[in-house]
Amino acid sequence: MTTAPMDSKALDETPSTFSDPNLVDQPHEARAVIGVSRRDITPPFGIYGPVWGFSTHDGSSRGTHKPIYATALAITAQPGGKPTVIVALDLGTSGDLTGLEDEWIRESVVKDLGIPISNLMLASSHTHGAPWPYRSRVDFPGGDLIEGYLELMKSAILEASREAIETAEDCIITFKDGRCDLAKNRNLADPANPTRYLTGYNPSNKSITDDTVMVGRVTRVSDNSIKATVVNYACHPTTLGGDNRLVSPDFIGGMRDVMEANTDGAICLFLQGASGDLAPAYQYVADTAVADRYGHQLGHAAYSTLLGMYPAGHRLEYVKPIESGAPLAYWEPRPYKIAKESAIDFETVGLPSKDWPGVEELEKQLAAESDFRIRERLLRKKTIANFTQGKGAIPTQVFAWRFGNLIFVGISCEIDVAWQQEVRAAFPGYGVVAITDVNYSAIGYIVREELCDHNLYQAWQPPYGKGSFTSIVENCVRLIKKTLN
């Protein structure tokens, strides 16, 4: 998809034609030096994971559905400035709370790249078809392959990031919001037990969802070709369930196939949105064709959105009336001066915690428990206890990166979809790319305040207490406002 080259000088010098915002359709875009690169992180046969609490197999993988990747997007907004890098990972998480493998990786990568910690996000897609590269699981079947895989991951992330920075060029990045109805609400009241919720499709809860798909296009200024695309969508990649033994990106793989086939192979990154209460309707299966079909659904929705964009560096402006059978309003895409302003901010904020059993208590429960499903729950509770013990608040990372009238906001947890809706509503003049599972160590969910006391997995699984949802929204809005000043 290449058209006539853009006039770089014209893009810099063309003034705004209209001051009336009703006569201009302003795209969400910025101009910067941008690079992209990818490395394959498909694990060796037999590594621990993918696995679920209801899996009846030993948890070791037995093949690959589609390759999984680490894909880096590097953006340098100011000449001589430090690049920012977001690495999209086809993983459930980038570590766990016992080993904190993601911290080990990030510290090494930022040191080698010479960038501050605020300038790197590891964004997991949260696919449930990925290996579990946690040092806490080395004694499980396939665990002997974990340490070597962690080294492979770290090297791949560094290599992709470095190459993205080194091959960066003058580009325009544009985002547009489209629609895809793949994601459904997944909080279903148990028909046999009204005191609890099941995690699965709730057809009566259609209002608590978000069909927004944010699609990004990175366009080279030199020849107007597409260098990369970005898809930001909120939907749990839980198509493949406990009977699946294949490493898989889930529906993200099929989505990438569609996008890359229609953009001359331009690399596509997937960034997970706020999918705490969203998932496909039909899921937990072993049939990879279902995941591919969902991926094609999302891919075609994203590609449709891409086709609806104006040429890079152009906005739609009202030109004149045309007298015809009816008086017609004629608009056309025209070049304008693209914003280059940027700001990077990052904080670790403390969120309210709830009462949580201690490590010793959980070890006693584990010793007395034989049901493998309950043992898995207890193991996860123990990793959280190891991390939160002695802390008065739960440390949670918040990123706010602004480029032009684009905002990348990232958080290190899972969260209900209302988070991205509220943050986007707070900044209506900006394209907000809302990313969860950033530097994510499987700590769990933040639910809307009214759900905190419900017998709902996303409410009882995490250590986050009441007030966390309100606090994380307020902190994200506050940090974004700092970047706008």
pLDDT digits (tens, 9 = 90+) for 184-237: 999 999 999 989 999 999 999 877 899 999 999 999 999 999 999 999 999 999
12-45 burial string, b = 16+ CB within 10 Å, else e?
eebeeeeeeeeebeebbbbbbbbbbbbbebbbee
Rg of the chain over all Cα atoms, to the nearest angstrom: 23
- DSSP string over 30-69: EEEEEEEEEEE-PPPTT-BB---TT--S-SB---BSS--E
Per-position DSSP letters for 237-275, written without gaps between them:
--SB-TT--SB--THHHHHHHHHHHTTTT-EEEEEE---
CA 222 from centre of chain = 29
Question: What is the pLDDT, as a whole number, of residue 15?
Answer: 45
Half-sphere exposure of 141 (CA within 13 A, CB side): 12
Structure tokens at 146: 């974990």
Residue 22 has what pLDDT? Answer: 85
Q: The whole model's pTM is what?
A: 0.94
Q: What band does 371 get if pLDDT is binned at 50, 70 and 90?
A: confident
Angstrom CA distances, 336 to 168, 226, 333, stand at 23, 19, 9
pLDDT at residue 254 is higher than 90: yes
Answer whether 350's CB lies under 8 Å from 392's CB.
yes
Query: How high is the pLDDT of residue 6?
Result: 55
Contact 435, 273 (CB under 8 A): yes
- Mean pLDDT, the chain, as a whole number? 93
| H helix or E strand, kind and range, residue 125 | none
| E runs forming strands in 404-471 | 406-411, 414-415, 431-435, 445-446
CA distance 136 to 143: 9
Kindly report, residue by residue over 420-458, the tens digit of the pLDDT: 999 999 999 999 999 999 999 989 999 999 999 999 999
Query: Residues 58-82: pLDDT tens digits?
Result: 889 999 999 999 999 999 998 889 9
Distance (Å, whole) CA 175 – CA 232: 10
- Whether the predicted pLDDT of 13 surpasses 50: no
Give tens-digit pLDDT for 385-419.
Answer: 888 887 889 999 999 999 999 999 999 999 999 99
**Beta carbons within 10 angstroms of residue 110's beta carbon:** 18
